[in-house]
Amino acid sequence: MTSGPVQPPGEEPQGGRLEHGLAMPSSCFVMANREVRRQERVAAKYAYIWLRKTFPDGTEHQRLRSESTACPVASILLQDDNGDVEMLHPENLRKLCSGERVMSDEEATFMAVHPGFPDDAWYLPGQGRYWSNNLDEHMVIRFIKPTRVFVLLASLSQEPRWLSDQFHKFRDPNYVQIQLRVSWKLSLSSKLTMLLTGQLREARQQKLRVFRAKSVMLPGEEMRLGGPGLANLNDLPYLVAFKEEKLSNAEMIQQSLAASTGLQVARLNNFNIGRNMPFNIWFSTFVKAVKRNRLAEVRLMLETDLMRPKAVSHLATHDISLAPMEEKEQMLIDVPAGRQHLKMTCLLLDRAACELTYKALKLIVHNWEDVPEAYGFAAGLLITYLRRRGRPLSTVAAILMAMRAEIAQRAGRKPTAALEDALASFSDLQARLMYQYAEAVRLDSTALDPGERMDLLMALLDAAPEAAPAAAPVAKSAVCGSGMGRTKSAVDKLVLGRPMLLHQFRPLRVAFMDKEYAFTAVPLVEGYTRLVWCGREFVQETSKDNTQAMSVLNPTFVFVMLCNLGFANKGAVLLALGMRWWHYCTFSSQAFFNSPRARWLLHLLCNVWFLIIYLQVIHVILPSWWGVPVDVADHFQHSKLNTITVTLFNFFILGNLVETLQFILLRYKTDAFRFLAQEKTTLLFIVVDVFMLVLGVFWVLYINQVIEIDTLTITQLMMAWGSMAPLLWGRCLLVMIPLIQPLGPMLGTMKAMMLEVATFAVPWLVITVGFAISLDVVLAAAGDLAKMSFWEVLLFLFQGFVGDLDWGVVEQIRDSDLPEDMAQALAAYVIVVLVAYSVLCILLLGNLLIAIMTNRYRPEQAKSASIFNFAMATDRYQFQVDAHLLCSPLNVVCFLFSWLPTDRRVKLHPSTFWRWGVTFLDGFTPATPYHVWLPCGHEELPHLFFLTCINPLVWACSMMLFWVHLPFCAVYFATTGRKAAIKQMSALLSSSRRWHSFAVRQGGEAQEAAGGAAGAEGSGALGKRLGADTPLSSRSVRSFASGSDPMASGTFMDVEEIAGLGEQMLGNEVPAPQTRSAALRNAATELLVFPIFACAGLVAYVGFGLVVVVFAPTLWWLAALLWSAWHVMRPLLRKLGQRARRLLSQCFRC
């Protein structure tokens, strides 16, 4: 009904009659004179009286409105992970009772409500479109009455991570969790999904578990609930129920106390001790005293200010760490540190609580023994700062870095005993901090998924300083110039090119710079390195790895599907690996590309390709390797194949050079020369690349007869070309470090040994030259008998050092035509010289070299060095991911297209791609809420190259592993797996037989009688399944099923549940022995059935492979190529469109 003016009974309205006798006046009646208007008001009055008497309960609209006001919820705000927001009102809620729908988009309904569940509860039906929502604030509920909130979760659904913080299991008096029975009516798609997950029977029997809020929500409060989480395929959205509750006395007192917090408290801003100087004047005076190194004046100002109340103290309300704009230094503590004022620096750090910069830290460490005792010496001063400031791990890393640098500078000039003791103490402190952090992460590991754990470790070990907005320098000027206040956290947001404050240092970067093997070998750091190696987005998009979850977040969910269908078991490791690779190139392709592991794989394949081309180039230049003895000078004739081969080799060499320069210039920028000075290997490879590039250009010009080179020069160039081969092949070993991790320490040991040999060569060369001169004098006196020059004598002694000495020279001198006494004297002289050289060089120096090399190789440090090298390689490839770079030679192609504009875009929601029938081309965004941007234009080219190079290769490997298992899977299906398939198909085809549950709280003798009959029937069925002669009582069945009194818990079982229970109990019994004839019949049956099921399994496996492994990835790969190519050209097309619109607008103006 609708309300409105009502005509009294017995009078005909002029405007015509509507429903229920209601009339509306016509236009002429409304526009009448004043008397008519008076009559209209009188008619409305009597109409209202008649309406109240006729409809005492109000109209339908009023009744619905009054019922909605009984709901304790004011509004519910639902947020989707794609940015959509939906507001629900009390009219959208329903009363929780039997027959109501469970889901808004499904036909499942509630059966009899559990007697322990509150009466007259309201609930919000499950929203299917929020099935996999992973937001932290998915639902915001506002209350207008004291309300208790309940969450209803299906039995097969996983518990959201936020559930245990605000809710607990709602139990009956027997401590059994209350569950609500539901009549599930699954659609065909839902049945097929549950069939693939292997839980169709369980899906039909699942109930809604009830979780009760830990506290009552008061009127005006809000409750924020997260989303269902990254759900599996068999998960359902949760339901939220509400029940109004009366406040207890304690809760009323708590509410009144909460309301009383709005009282205003007297402020102490006007409270002064003496004269209150404004901050800008006080700070200017303070800075002048600091610059002039007036210790007494600065100490007096600090002590006086600290005696003031906290509300009016300048040091309590302002952070004076920032220097004024007119100063050259950015931080105040750098003003005395730049002038080498140690005591003033210590005073500002201790009493003024200034932020400590690395420049001031170097001053303190440089004067470590001179820090006054009043501050606790240098160690006590730094420990005080460490306690006061957050991020202690970064601070300790910066202190250790400064100490190591000072010890290296003091070598041989100043004593380092005190610094070495302090270094050991702070190293022990760092180890203790790492242990505490590891314990904290371990305790939180159960509540954190791998993505959250990785973000936490990155914040501890490798967190980049937060960039401040562009207005930060203006704020600094306003603070220091005008004297306005500044909060203590504002200093953390300074825009600094390099880390200046100690808490801005990144401990992992410090370990890389100082080559701290022990730091990277800590399990906490090693675990973080492993996660970074897999990729930040990839870890989050595969957070359910190593589980049996049927979810796109499980990279082996296709393998789990095959196991559920009976084609394999958990022992098929190679098949699982192939399906994992299939997932890498389909569902998680974008995340796999943005991982260091994918960049390393691309780099490895490019290096293999480079070596193949190098062998082909060697074939061009040195044909004798292939058994074709051709004259070198005549071989180099004009040939397109030779030109292409050498040009391609030059292209690779140019790519290597560009890759190294990009990494150094983009990563280290102004510190590039310092990096090259420390990394001699990188510098060597740059020189080799430049030399090989120049040499390759010469070869191309010579092959095409642009320049003429004589035979000798060609031979020399060939020698130079061949001499670079060990270095080119040795560089490939560095690429294999992530694959063979012990290779890193081995190469490091070889490098250290080479340095030791270079150091050892100096004394050996000096001694050997001395002995060579001694021998050269004697051999020169022997005339033509020993025709050896000085260099030949030197080579003779070197051969004796590495091998055996040739004593034939002595016999030649004795058998010479010289006088006998002279020959004997010369022979004796040579013998003495050779014996002395053998003892001094061969025995002593040779054994010394062996001892040095043995001492250099330390097996206990091999593991630490291996992890360190792996972390360095991971960091380098992660930089390529962050900077959108590629390895050689693809980086040259990207560099050629650098003229393309660059932009970024927001990832699209997976539902957008599912509408098109393709996989998540931008990744599974609900699992990566903090990675929402993707590049466009020039920076999208690396992804396009990845799709064309690596993705087909990984896909081909996965298909190969899948089809190789075809006969094994068919045989397994025919022998063992068919049982699981038959069970699933029977569950799909059979109709669910259910009992109607008892409604204990509704009472009724008829219901009790019907329930007793059903219970007796079910107990009889159970008794027959268990082999009992007499049926069990319904009460014992209910008690056996729920583990409690049925009248208290109200939990009952279906026929299917009871049958399953009997099967489980019978499965535990010892099977009865079979007769010989029965065994033979069973064997014959198996032999007859085996070919049929083998053929069926073969056909099903082939069909599954063609659809899932071949057709779908092909379609998705083509869609990914088009999608990536479109985003490569999208910024350029947008720019051209803007220019075209601008030209058209100018033309129209003209």
- 222-265 pLDDT, tens digit per residue, is 899 988 877 677 788 899 999 988 765 555 555 544 444 433 33
* Cβ neighbours, 10 Å, residue 28: 10
Q: Nearest Cα to 511, choosing from 500, 526, 501?
A: 526
Q: Check if the beta carbon of residue 693 is closer than 8 Å to that of residue 650.
A: yes
Spatial distance between the Cα atoms of 399 and 1039, rounded to a whole number of angstroms: 67
Instruction: Provide DSSP, 891-920.
Output: HHHHHHTTTS-EEEEEPPPHHHHHHHT---
Which residue is listed with tokens 């079910």?
1018
How many CA atoms, within 13 angstroms, populate the side-chain half-sphere of residue 285?
A: 12
What pLDDT digit, counting tens, does each position of 1036-1058 carry? 433 333 344 433 334 444 444 44
Q: Are 594 and 532 in contact (CB under 8 A)?
A: no
Cβ–Cβ under 8 Å, residues 306 and 315: yes
Q: What is the pLDDT of residue 533?
A: 93
* Burial class of 149 by CB neighbour count within 10 A (0 to 12, 13 to 18, 19+): buried
Adjacency order of strands within the sheet including 85-88: 85-88, 73-79, 139-143, 222-225
**Nearest-10 Cα torsion for 965, 967, 970, 972:** -70
Mean pLDDT of 392-399: 92
How does pLDDT run across 639-674, given as a tens digit for each residue? 677 788 888 989 999 999 999 999 888 888 877 888
Comparing CA positions, the residue from 310, 649, 319 lying closest to residue 491 is 319
Q: Evaluate if residue 960 carries a pLDDT over 80.
A: yes
In this predicted structure, the answer to whether residue 289 has a pLDDT above a threshold of 80 is: yes
- Span 963-984, average pLDDT: 86
How is 359-406 classified by DSSP, letter by letter? HHHHHHHHTGGGS-GGGTHHHHHHHHHHHHSS-HHHHHHHHHHHHHHH
Structure tokens at 1039: 């008690």
Identify the band that residue 941 occupies on the pLDDT scale cut at 50, 70 and 90: very high
Q: Do the bridges between strand 902-906 and strand 239-244 make them parallel or antiparallel, or are there none, so unpaired?
A: unpaired
Residue 58 pLDDT class (50, 70, 90 cuts):
low
Rounded to an integer, the average pLDDT of 3-30 is 40
Q: Which amino acid is present at 668? A: Y
The kind and range of the H/E element at 94 are strand 94-95
**Cα separation, 183 vs 207, whole angstroms:** 9
Say if residues 571 and 915 touch (Cβ distance below 8 Å).
no
pLDDT in tens, 1099-1144: 999 999 999 999 999 999 999 999 999 999 999 999 998 888 888 8
Q: Are 147 and 242 in contact (CB under 8 A)?
A: yes
What DSSP letter does each residue of 472-504 carry, written as one string? Answer: HHHHHHHHHHH-----TTGGGG---SS--BGGG
- The pTM score is 0.72
Going by the DSSP 8-state scheme, the letter that residue 746 receives in this structure is H
More confidently predicted of 516 and 499 = 516
The token duo for 362 is 């170097």
What are the backbone dihedrals phi and psi of residue 819, each rounded to the nearest 5 degrees, phi first?
Answer: -55, 145
pLDDT band at 456 (very low <50, low <70, confident <90, very high): confident
**N-to-C CA span, the chain:** 65
Rounded CA Rg of the chain:
42
Contact 15, 36 (CB under 8 A): no
Q: How many helices (H) and strands (E) does the chain have?
A: 49, 15
Residue 1009: per-residue pLDDT: 40
What CA–CA distance (Å, rounded) separates 997 from 114? 10
Is 984 in contact with 564 (CB distance < 8 Å)? Answer: yes
Question: Cα separation of 680 and 685, whole Å?
Answer: 9
Q: What is the pLDDT of residues 461-470, one digit of tens each?
A: 888 765 433 3
DSSP type of residue 1046? H
| Phi/psi of residue 182, nearest 5 degrees | -130, 140
What contacts 910, CB < 8 A, 6 or more positions away? 920, 924, 925, 926
CA proximity to 739, closest of 884, 555, 624, 596:
596
- Residue 1066 above 60 pLDDT? no
pLDDT digits (tens, 9 = 90+) for 771-803: 888 777 766 655 544 566 777 777 878 777 777
Only one residue has tokens 């015509």, namely 16
Confidence band, pLDDT 50/70/90 cuts, at residue 596: very high
Of 99, 179, 178, the C-alpha closest to 1002 is 99
Angle at 506 between CA 504 and CA 511, to 5 degrees: 145
* Beta carbons of 668 and 675 less than 8 angstroms apart: yes
| Largest separation between any pair of C-alpha atoms in the chain | 167
Flag whether pLDDT at 806 surpasses 80. no
844 or 1035, which is more confident: 844
Whether the per-residue pLDDT at 372 is higher than 60: the answer is yes
Cα separation of 781 and 469, whole Å? 85
Nearest alpha carbon to residue 1 among 60, 53, 65: 60
Q: Please count the other Cβ atoms lying within 10 Å of the Cβ belonging to residue 999.
A: 18
CA 1148 vs CA 1136, 1140, 1143: distances in Å = 18, 12, 9
- What's the pLDDT tens digit per position in 95-135? 998 888 888 877 888 988 888 898 889 999 888 878 777 78
Contact 181, 997 (CB under 8 A): yes
Tokens found for residue 1109: 């492994």
Instruction: Kindly state the DSSP code that residue 230 receives in the 8-state scheme.
Output: S
Contact 323, 477 (CB under 8 A): no
Other CB atoms within 10 Å distance of the CB of residue 559: 25
What pLDDT, on the 0 to 100 scale, is given for residue 54? 62
pLDDT tens digits for 820-858? Answer: 777 777 778 878 888 887 787 777 777 777 776 666 666
Residues 6+ positions from 429 with CB-CB distance below 8 Å: 396
Task: Tell me what pLDDT residue 129 has.
Answer: 79
Dihedral (CA of 697, 703, 709, 713) sign: positive
The C-alpha atoms of residue 297 and residue 303 are separated, in whole angstroms, by 10
Distance from C-alpha of 961 to C-alpha of 665, rounded to nearest angstrom = 42
Structural contact between residues 771 and 837, judged by C-beta atoms closer than 8 angstroms: yes
Measured in whole angstroms, the distance separating CA 978 from the mean position of its chain's CA atoms is 40
Side chain identity, residue 600: W
Kindly give, in sequence order, each residue whose CB lies less than 8 Å from that of residue 37, ignoring residues fewer than 6 positions away: none
In angstroms, the CA 580 to CA 660 distance is 33
Q: Is the per-residue pLDDT at 150 higher than 90?
A: yes
pLDDT at 12 > cutoff 90: no
Tokens of 583: 């997932």
Euclidean distance between CA atoms 204 and 202, whole angstroms: 5
Taken as a whole, the chain contains a residue count of 1150
Pull the structure tokens for residue 948. 């064309």
- 298 neighbors 283 (Cβ within 8 angstroms): no
How far apart CA 12 and CA 21 sit, in angstroms, is 10
How many Å apart are CA 84 and CA 135, to the nearest integer? 12
Q: How far apart are CA 567 and CA 1105, in angstroms?
A: 12
How distant is the alpha carbon of residue 1136 from its chain centre? 37
Tokens of 979: 């049982």
What is the distance between the alpha carbons of residues 106 and 127, in angstroms, rounded to a whole number? 10
At residue 1150, does pLDDT exceed 50? yes
- As a whole number of angstroms, the distance between CA 151 and CA 163 comes to 9
pLDDT digits (tens, 9 = 90+) for 708-719: 878 788 777 778
Q: What would the DSSP string read from start to end of 497-533?
A: SS--BGGG--HHHHHHHHT-HHHHTSHHHHHHHHHHH
